Amino acid sequence: MKGFSFSAAVLTLAAALPWGTTHAATVDRNATLNIAYGNRPGTLDPYLTTNNATSDVDRHIFETLFTINAKFEPVPDLVDTFSLSDDRLTYRFSLRQGVHFQNGQPLLADDVVASMNRWLAVSTQGKANLPGATFAKVDDKTVTLTLKTPSLITLNILADVKNIAAIMPKSIIDKANSSKKPVTELMGTGPYKLAEFKQGEFLHLTRNEQYTSRSEPSDGLSGQKKADVKDIYFRYITDESTRLAGAMTGEYDITYNLPKDNIATLDNAPDLHLYQPQSGGALITYLFNKNHGPFTNVKLREAFNLALNVPQALLAGYSDPRFFTEDSSLGFPQQVDWYSEAGKPYWNQHNLDKARQLVKESGYQGEEVVIIATKEYAELYNLAIVAQQVLKQIGVKSRLDVYDWPTVLQRRQDPKNFDLCALEFSMRQVLHQYPFLDSRARFPGLSNSPEIDAALDGIKAAPSLKAARGLVDQLHVLLWTYLPVIVLGHTTPEPIALKTHIEGYQDLIGPVLWTVSVTKP
């Protein structure tokens, strides 16, 4: 195994310096950011995916009724004021005044109602967590959200940062609804607008000069959005060595998805520093297809789980323990309301003899397990290789189908195309936002556990998170007995390479580029 030893001092300095405060140098408001990004989006429609390659772009184009601050708390975004009825079933939202879409059209209640009702109907978050809910117009600047049952997590769901509840013009939503196809025109109220998208090569954002910002101080994804950079290019560079070389030479202002084995080479690179995000990370999982194929039998899922040596798998995937933590929980340790070790007895058992016995009990007949993967996510590709080796150890045949990432996303929609894949799921505010849990989300893999659904619903119906504690623990046991996924652990946030003239960069489950400025030399 190749390791690395990038300077701790570099990361400590990068995290400690006030990059969020613009220095006395002159800010170049005509500046262009060139970003090296490792993965290509399969779709730009924010309702239809939770993938980072989409949400990292779309959060700059679109705004939502609610968003999250740096503490992961839901706070108003396009909403000015709101109230909740005594029976906890009806929210009343008053919209901010003076907000316009990027085409100059004013934001009205009709746009919100059309957008949110489509989001409720087609998004994993809407279908799973607000079933039966509806938005309605009161007047041009007021809407209501009516729930079927009270929900403790409603505002968290509206503020989801991956399956974004983006507000668009009603005309765009109507066109998508009538065609039954994804949104083809990206038009929001955010600080940047789409200038050009060349599939597989780059995506160009340009500043929305008519943007109307909130006045509160910037806090996470909330508050003031300044947009001091004029143009932003997400350049899709799928080769790790090319991204690294571009960071070293200064070709890219910001470089993501740095190759873990070679980060040390950036320690002494001129005009460059490494930024270490202080929050976030992702669940590291194996996702099973529970609708079609051999893993519809829970005993075969159990066998794979029993056979896994989790520490070895994580090292094979991520190269060094500094990039992951071994953990059985859906929640992260800092999420005190959601973290649980109730499922730990089922995790990392590494019992090959018992696993082989369960393969026999499952009725496995020698079918070939299809593992779907892409080399565009190196860590996940490595975990796919591990999965193939584990299956071989317990007498299960398999093959590895390797595609580019957009093709993986497309093929994964059909249960007949895969049986197993390695996936990361970005840290979420509440466990309900992980789409593989709830059968109503219809996420690839197609969970179908009434017991998990009931636990999720019970948490939502509770009067407080404290009262829901027992159900959170129960949910973690159900996770490990039904096995929609296997949780290997959590990633630690990856360092990001920034050129030294970049000021104000922030990261909260993805880049926050409206805080960035470029200083003139």
Of 267 and 397, the structure prediction assigns the larger pLDDT to 397
DSSP category for residue 164:
-
Average pLDDT over residues 318-340: 93
**Contact (CB, 8 A) for 27 and 226:** no
User: Which tens digit of pLDDT belongs to each residue from 380-430?
Assistant: 999 999 999 999 999 999 999 999 999 999 999 999 999 999 999 999 999
User: Which tens digit of pLDDT belongs to each residue from 154-177?
Assistant: 999 999 999 999 999 999 999 999
User: Which tens digit of pLDDT belongs to each residue from 503-515?
Assistant: 999 999 999 999 9
Q: Which residue has the tokens 């934001």?
A: 107
- CATH superfamily ID and name for 61-175: Dipeptide-binding Protein; Domain 1 (3.90.76.10)
pLDDT score of 1: 31
Strand (E) or helix (H) holding 115: helix 109-122
pLDDT score of 231: 98
pLDDT score of 20: 43
Q: How far apart are CA 321 and CA 148, in angstroms?
A: 45
Average pLDDT over residues 345-349: 97
The string of DSSP letters for 411-429 reads HTTSGGG-SEEEEEEE--S
**Contact (CB, 8 A) for 200 and 236:** yes
The answer to whether domain 24-39+191-279+495-521 and domain 61-175 are alike in fold is no
Classify domain 24-39+191-279+495-521 by CATH number. Answer: 3.40.190.10
- CATH superfamily ID and name for 282-491: Dipeptide-binding Protein; Domain 3 (3.10.105.10)
447 pLDDT above the threshold of 60: yes
pLDDT score of 2: 33
CA 373 to chain centre: 18
User: Which tens digit of pLDDT belongs to each residue from 306-316?
Assistant: 999 999 999 99
Q: How far apart are CA 294 and CA 286, in angstroms?
A: 15
The structural domains of the chain, with segments of one domain joined by +, span 24-39+191-279+495-521, 61-175, 282-491
Average pLDDT over residues 479-503: 95
Strand (E) or helix (H) holding 60: helix 52-61
User: Which tens digit of pLDDT belongs to each residue from 234-261?
Assistant: 999 999 899 999 999 999 999 998 888 7
269 pLDDT above the threshold of 90: no
Residue ranges of alpha helices (H) inside 131-191 are 154-158, 170-179
pLDDT score of 11: 36
492 pLDDT above the threshold of 60: yes
**Contact (CB, 8 A) for 160 and 125:** yes
Residue partners of 403: CB distance under 8 A and separation at least 6: 372, 373, 374, 411
Q: Give pTM, 2 decimals.
A: 0.87
**Contact (CB, 8 A) for 490 and 323:** no
Query: Across all residues in the chain, what is the average pLDDT?
Result: 92
pLDDT score of 263: 82
Tokens of 463: 């009067």
User: Which tens digit of pLDDT belongs to each residue from 215-231?
Assistant: 999 999 999 999 999 99
Q: How far apart are CA 164 and CA 45, in angstroms?
A: 9
pLDDT score of 264: 79
Average pLDDT over residues 62-88: 96
pLDDT score of 102: 98
pLDDT score of 494: 85
pLDDT score of 24: 54
Question: Which candidate, 216, 234, 185, places its Cα nearest to that of 513?
Answer: 234
HEC letters along 224-241: CCCCCCCEEEEEECCCHH
35 pLDDT above the threshold of 90: yes
Q: How far apart are CA 149 and CA 151, in angstroms?
A: 6
Q: How far apart are CA 64 and CA 31, in angstroms?
A: 27
Tokens of 467: 């009262």
The string of DSSP letters for 434-446 reads -TTT-GGG--TT-
> 401 has which bridge partners?
372
